[in-house]
Structure 1
């Protein structure tokens, strides 16, 4: 049987993971990335147990864990710094088989890229068109033309593949708030636990990275497209908004290089009717872009990648395999996207009575119930694997 070929449009986490998964099943893969190199700068990423299960299926969980930090715990605080809820990472590991691991996005991308043949990585290959001509798929890009057996659109929120094959699909919608992301310089005494602090229409969170650094993120309800100019101006805005928040927020801001602040408005994607059309599939943000409130964007892309490769390996007919992929992935990812959006609405509340009610409800929620509510998200295992070690109902 001739070796089957896949063209993956987009060289982010989901695209590279899909390439690794297919390569492990004997496919010839090429990853077309419009940027001049496969990397990201300046931001951290949280990998929850479900993401580690996906990386385990790719044979990369150990390598990724070695590059990350594992906190003792974390949770949510109110504007005065009082804990509203707590999470024990050891309990996460016991219930779901892996801890929460935090690392730099560039490190994760490097591990994924190094698991692929060098000649399968095509940086500087911006895609201009994708066509399904019935008997053949055609991908036009800066490096020429590809005619694979399968095309995977992993090219993000404003996907070229989605626009080409799903022309009727609605575009991204603004969530109503913007986000800042930054990494501190190494701290002499970094916080032992991470936290997200909820204010009124604003939030500030932090979590540990290796080497004493902290990954910090903040949100604020602002009109779409509001810009403060340079990175220095964005930093000044952060200090204005969060500089008087409870410890350790001021110290963390002091440790952030002024030119290291990234800001992006946050969007999600209205639900698609299918993630597959013929022999073309969408993956990650191209299929189900979601707000980052659950920390599941990249985690779901990793799940997508493993599931996609499993379906294509199990079912010789590519179109039928992609229909199975859609049936497995669409209900789950769209439910998680809705849940993340709801959490964002709650987190961004600004009317004082609503904020008081929110914080009181969070404080009264038992830790056991909080963990149990996470099971539908974190209790995933890859297709064909034994059930996850989610013993939440037995203890």
Structure 2
């Protein structure tokens, strides 16, 4: 798109930095605006499924991401006694998709992205919060303003919609953290323990560490400290497999965080005039979907390509929404369905993990670049 070359990106998270990188590589002039004083390292880890790695490959980051992270060999679903109920061979999935799955500490992913931002000389304005007036000013200065400012308090989403489009609490907490890898553990498998409406996931992240999430249904109690939440998790999982107790007891308290998990209802549109949403600001899904970072990266791929393919900005932004809404809504729906199943009193059943079906779902729309007439 010859008339849309200057882009302002609000937010320097995974979506914002990735958009800055890929758009700059494609010849756009990009500036990033971030309210924090530096790149955020909040969050334990991220699993980059093959659809995410597809986009990162186009961004020329596959090698650096693979060197920092871990390629898990499989997923195991287990009950409270540690009995394996189902498993998925991730090498088979990688072969079918053409790209691996990589698990990585979030801070390592962010630092990798930011290093690429610096190498590309992308201008980042830190300590720069934006409000509706700022967004109006930016929309007059830049050809396109891209809101990548997250699920909870997106100023860009608030500016686009006259009525509040607030995220919805889904009734459960995620306590997340980083711990040393167990010396005798199956540290190259993603392990998910579920029973009695409680869930614990362990994901390898480096040669010596894993990230984990403990989850259970609860009301929002904003008075508890991280230490109190960690103590509650230790009590809840006291009689679960030893691996879980070892991880909770060895957790780095400074890496721990509690999240009252929210998602968004599907939005009727993602843009107004020359302002558009991407990532969690547009379609935040629950962590049970496993697709938050992957769908944000898909947004980056599709939006940048569409900006290069269409002459009129309204056409590009309309096509972007039409192209993405079904897949992102599917991720939101799957996340809610799994959460309802996980955090209920209904006897737990293993989630069916068919590599062929996962490939069809995750790689949809990514085989070749889109060329629309």
What is the TM-score normalised by the length of structure 1?
0.87
Query: Shift of the alpha carbon at 1:194?
Result: 2.0
SS of equivalent to 2:125: strand
CA offsets, 1:6-25, max 9 Å, x none?
11111100011111121112
Q: Aligned partners of 2:37, 2:93: CA distance in 1, in Å?
A: 38
2:149 corresponds to which of 155, 175, 190: 155
Unaligned runs of 5+ in 1: 141-145, 387-395
Contact kept? 2:49, 2:100, Cα under 8 Å:
yes
Q: Deviations over 1:183-241 (max 9, x none)?
A: 00354334232211112221001011112211110111001x21462222222111011
- The alpha-carbon distance between structure 1 residues 256 and 131, as it changes in their structure 2 partners (threshold 3 A), is closer
Alpha-carbon separation, structure 1, partners of 2:157 and 2:192:
34
Please give the residue correspondences for 1:338-357 in structure 2 after superposition, counting only pairs within 5 Å. 338-350=333-345, 354-355=346-347
Deviation at 1:327, TM superposition (A): 1.0
Query: Hey, what does 1:23 align to over in structure 2?
Result: 24
1:220 aligns with 2:221: no
Residues 53 and 97 of structure 1: CA distance in aligned 2, closer, same or farther (over 3 Å): same
For residue 164 of structure 1, the aligned residue among 134, 159, 168 is: 159
Q: Distance in 1 between matches of 2:182 and 2:124?
A: 36
For the residues of structure 2 that align with 1:276 and 1:331, how far apart are their CA atoms?
16
TM-aligned CA distance change 1:179 to 1:36, over 3 Å: same
Alpha-carbon contact 1:57-1:382 (below 8 Å) kept: no
Matched, 1:252 2:255: no
Please give the per-residue CA displacement for 1:35-61, whole angstroms capped at 9, x wherever unaligned: 100131451111101100011111112
* Map 1:1-395 → 2, pairs under 5 A: 4-116=5-117, 117-130=120-133, 138-139=137-138, 147-157=141-151, 158-192=153-187, 193-223=189-219, 225-227=220-222, 229-350=224-345, 354-355=346-347, 358-359=348-349, 362=350, 370-380=354-364, 382=366, 384-385=368-369
| CA distance in structure 1 between the aligned counterparts of 2:27 and 2:33, rounded to whole angstroms | 19
Residue 349 of structure 1 deviates from its aligned partner by 1.6
**For residues 284 and 85 of structure 1, do their structure 2 counterparts lie closer, same or farther at Cα, with a shift above 3 Å needed?**
same
Residue 390 (structure 1) aligns with: none
Instruction: Tell me the distance in 1 between the aligned counterparts of 2:224 and 2:10.
Output: 31
Deviations 1:309-356 (A, max 9, x none): 000011122221111111111121012111111011111122xxx21x
- What is the DSSP-based 3-state SS (H/G/I as helix, E as strand, rest coil) of the residue aligned with 2:269? coil
Secondary structure in 1 matching 2:311: coil
Alpha-carbon shift at residue 114 of structure 1 (Å) = 2.2
Q: Distance in 1 between matches of 2:326 and 2:237?
A: 37
Question: Once the 2 structures are TM-superposed, how far is the Cα of residue 78 of structure 1 from its aligned partner?
Answer: 1.4
Question: What's the CA shift for 1:131?
Answer: 7.1
Q: TM-score, normalised by structure 2?
A: 0.92
Question: Are the equivalent residues in 1 in contact too, given 2:94–2:100 (CA < 8 A)?
Answer: yes
Determine if contact 2:33/2:124 at 8 Å carries over to the other structure: yes
Q: Distance in 2 between matches of 1:122 and 1:282?
A: 19
RMSD: 2.1
How many residues are matched? 365
Unaligned 5+ runs, structure 2: none
